[in-house]
Each structure stands twice: as structure tokens, then as C-alpha cells.
Amino acid sequence: MKIILLGPPGAGKGTQAQFIIENLGIPQISTGDMFRATVASGSSLGSKLKEIMDSGSLVSDEIVIEVVKERISQPDCSGGFLFDGFPRTISQAEVLDIFLDSMKMNIRATISLDVEDFILEDRLIKRGKTSGRLDDQNINKIRNRFKEYNKKTLPLINYYKSLNKFYSISGTGTIDEIRDKLVNMINQLKLND
């Protein structure tokens, strides 16, 4: 099963992605994790990515797509995968669809975790204090990320709705409550395959 997990920063994508990949036995493809590893490597691309991420801006489509294409070409992705944080724009989604089609694959479902901004802000500030992530410690950077998300990523909802591949659940409540909603959603998708 090939799934996209959508949601604004702080929606719980990373937490819930762990459950999905364990449940389905598929790898998680998190552009954020791949970018943070690149930053930690100290390479010139890592320095460039650090500057972009610290400003709260999104990484360019060209860089993201190259990283993703390389990753989904690996053997462990042949049976499915979960995208966490990708695609973020319609242009990325279109390039992804073309690439997947060339590999005789397609996205089965896009699941969005919906959470109100004030809850997200609280979650991110708390995460910033415990994780040390600079992009989660500044409310202006957080709000800039929300603006970027709303401007570039929300149009994906209509894109995937038009393909009958969009599903939405509430991302509020306890981790277990959200996980239960995801279990029900995934079980429905499995039944319809």
C-alpha cells in the first residue's frame, strides 16, 4: 500500500506514521528526516538545507523530488511506502504521479490529520523545548510554516479529492484515539483493495 500522510506541522504525522509502517510493514519516507540527516552530515547541501529550514521556508521542489525519487527506487519500497511530509505542492504531486506511473505504481490514499492552529502552536512549542529543534521554538517561524503549508499544501486536498484518493480524520485527542481512527481508515482501504 502506498500512502501519503498529510497535515500541518505538529499534526502528529511522525507519531502516527510509526504506527502505520509497523501495521503495514512498509517503510516511512519522511523528507523532514532525510533533510535533517543531510544537515547533520555537514555537507554543502546540508548547510543550504539548514538555512532554508531555520527560516521556516520549504525546500525547493527540485531538491525534494530528487531525494524522493532516489528513495522510492530502493528495493524496500517495492511493496509500498508511507510518505510523511511529501508531496507538499501540486507540482510535486504531479511529478510523483508521473514517476510512480513509470514504475507501475500509484498512490492508494492520501490521509490528512486535521488539527486547529492554536493546538498545533502549543504542540510545536512544547516539542521545540524537548527536542531542541530551533524551528519549533519561535512562534513567528511556526506561523510562517503554517502560512507556507496553507498556501502550497492545502491545494493538494482538491488534487487528491479529484482522484478519489483523499481521506481526512481529526488529529485531535490522545495518540491512541488518533491511532484508532487511522486503524479504521486503513482497514477500510484494505477491504476496498
Residue 57: pLDDT band with limits 50, 70, 90: confident
pTM for the whole structure: 0.83
Residue 63: pLDDT band with limits 50, 70, 90: confident
Among the listed residues 75, 64, 86, 92, the one whose alpha carbon sits nearest the alpha carbon of residue 27: 75
Cα 145 from chain centroid (whole Å): 13
Q: Residue type for 170, please?
A: S
pLDDT digits (tens, 9 = 90+) for 101-147: 999 999 999 999 999 999 999 999 999 899 888 778 889 989 998 99
Residue 88: its pLDDT value, please? 83
